[in-house]
Copies of this chain bind each other. A is one copy, B any other.
Amino acid sequence: MLPETNHHPEFQITRASHVSLGVTDLEASRDFYRDVVGLVVTEETDDVIYLRGLEEAAHHSLVLERSEVAKAHRVGLRVRSADDIVAAEKHFKAANIEYQRVERDHQGPTLQFRDPVGTLMEFTSEMDVVERKMQNFNEFVAGAPQRLDHYQVVTYDVKTATEFWTGLGMRISEYTAAGDDDELWGTWMEVKGNTHDLVFTNGRGPRLHHFAFAVPDGQSLLHAADVAGALGKGDEIDRGPGRHGISNALFLYLRDPDQHRVELFNTHYQFIDLETPPIRWDVTNPRRAQLWGMPASNRWFFEASEFPGEGVNEPLLKATPETLEAYLGLH
Contact = CB atoms under 8 A, between A and B. Distances in A.
Q: How large is the interface on A (under 10, 10 to 19, 20 to 34, 35 or more residues)?
A: 35 or more
A193 interface: yes
A320 interface: no
B227 A138 contact: yes
A140 interface: yes
Copies of this polypeptide in the complex: 4
* Listed residue (A216, A248, A294) with the most chain B CB atoms within 10 angstroms of its CB: A294
Contacts of A139: 230
B231 A138 contact: yes
B267 A216 contact: yes
Interface string A208-249: 000000001111001101111111011101111111010010
A261 interface: no
Contacts of A78: 272-273
Interface in A297-311: 297
A192 interface: yes
A20 B217 CA distance: 30
A147 B270 CA distance: 8
B292 A147 contact: no
Interface of A: 14-15, 35, 55-58, 78, 80-81, 108, 126-127, 129, 132, 134-142, 146-147, 192-193, 216-219, 222-223, 225-231, 233-235, 237-243, 245, 248, 250, 266-267, 269-270, 272-277, 287, 290-294, 297, 331
